[in-house]
Amino acid sequence: MASPVAAIDIGGTKTLIEVYESGQREPAGSEESPTPGSGELVRDLAESVRRVAGGQDVEAVAVGCPGPLDPLGGVILNPPNLSREWWGLRLADGLAGELGAPAALENDCNLGALGEWDHGSGKGYDSVLYVTVSTGVGAGLVSGGEIFGGNRGFALELGHTVLETGGPVCGCGRAGCVEALTSGPAIARRALELGWTPDPGETDSRAVAYAAERGHPVAHRALEEAASYLGKALVNFIYSFDPGVVVLGGGVTRSDLFVSLARDAVGREPVMEAFLGVPVVRAGQPGRSVIHGARTLAERTSRNSSRPTGTGR
């Protein structure tokens, strides 16, 4: 029997490792732990993979990680959501050396798109645009089953496209970015600006959504403003990429009200007839888009490496 493949989702706070036997829908092993900020990062990660695989060799491994990163070279660049110990790490080569198996590294949003295309709400569509709204706003595009990475594999940073000239300043340095208007922190900040008085410790966008769903007018206004901006952005993206489906992921989109307001906003935009009717749906399994994409990439990496040359994607 073929050896299993390993899928890894490294997030700002948590890291998920899963191991899949060929053809199995459910993982044979799974482990979630806090993302370390220092130490022997590569060696410890490889050790965790071996443990989750129950001591078996793995056929291939694929890792999703916050960008920016270089998927072609398998190098993490300088993602603001990971500690500096990770910056510049040649993760793909390091894991391949430790595990004796080919390894691939990819931007987590791109893997989100791949995971939704292969295992989630994008299944059956040729082209899937995945947009995640949480602490930041990210996106990935799969077309014809392949990730669209641009020239260096850095695409798509749709969260940093500008919607509102003179809008709030974004972490990237521009003002009025989609991320600065629709992310969780942006929603919480706007609610406070509008005079929302949260309970102590309940100052995040989840609390705003919760209050909005219970009819709190200020919280509702903040959530609706963000959803309206997202709706405008989604129409921009539909014009840019002509996807078969738009899949929404990320913590903010767990709010039914937010998603319904964003869909209303898409519906309110005047859209050229040829572009009407692109479905906007939620991710198949919340929080699992990236790990599913990592699994698909690991399986592809394993197949590619059985040819005489080349690893990775």
Question: Which residues would be at the binding site for Zn ion (CB under 5 A)?
Answer: 160, 170, 172, 174, 177
Q: Is 167 helix (H, G, I), strand (E, B) or coil?
A: coil
**Are 301 and 20 spatial neighbours (Cβ–Cβ below 8 Å)?**
no
Q: How far is the CB of 298 from Zn ion (least distance, A)?
A: 31
Toward Zn ion, which CB reaches closer, 174 or 221? 174
**φ, ψ of residue 65 in degrees (nearest 5):** -150, 150
**Are 63 and 70 spatial neighbours (Cβ–Cβ below 8 Å)?**
no
**Are 254 and 138 spatial neighbours (Cβ–Cβ below 8 Å)?**
no
Toward Zn ion, which CB reaches closer, 160 or 216? 160
Contacts by 270-277 with C-beta closer than 8 Å and gap 24+? 271/235, 271/238, 275/235, 275/238, 275/239, 275/242
Toward Zn ion, which CB reaches closer, 122 or 138? 138
Residue length of the chain? 313
Toward Zn ion, which CB reaches closer, 183 or 301? 183
H/E segment holding residue 14: strand 14-20
Q: How far is the CB of 88 from Zn ion (least distance, A)?
A: 23
Toward Zn ion, which CB reaches closer, 141 or 170? 170
Q: How far is the CB of 156 from Zn ion (least distance, A)?
A: 13
Instruction: Calculate ∠ Cα 182-140-16, nearest 5°.
Output: 90
Residue 144: left if φ>0, alpha if ψ -120 to 50, beta else—which one? Answer: left
Q: How far is the CB of 196 from Zn ion (least distance, A)?
A: 24
**Are 7 and 17 spatial neighbours (Cβ–Cβ below 8 Å)?**
yes
Toward Zn ion, which CB reaches closer, 49 or 178? 178
Toward Zn ion, which CB reaches closer, 108 or 179? 179
**Are 77 and 87 spatial neighbours (Cβ–Cβ below 8 Å)?**
yes
Q: How far is the CB of 167 from Zn ion (least distance, A)?
A: 10
Q: Which two tokens stand for residue 133?
A: 């709204």
Q: How far is the CB of 11 from Zn ion (least distance, A)?
A: 20
Q: How far is the CB of 172 from Zn ion (least distance, A)?
A: 3
What is the C-alpha to C-alpha distance for residues 3 and 225, in angstroms, rounded to an integer?
Answer: 49
Neighbouring-strand partners of residue 249: 132
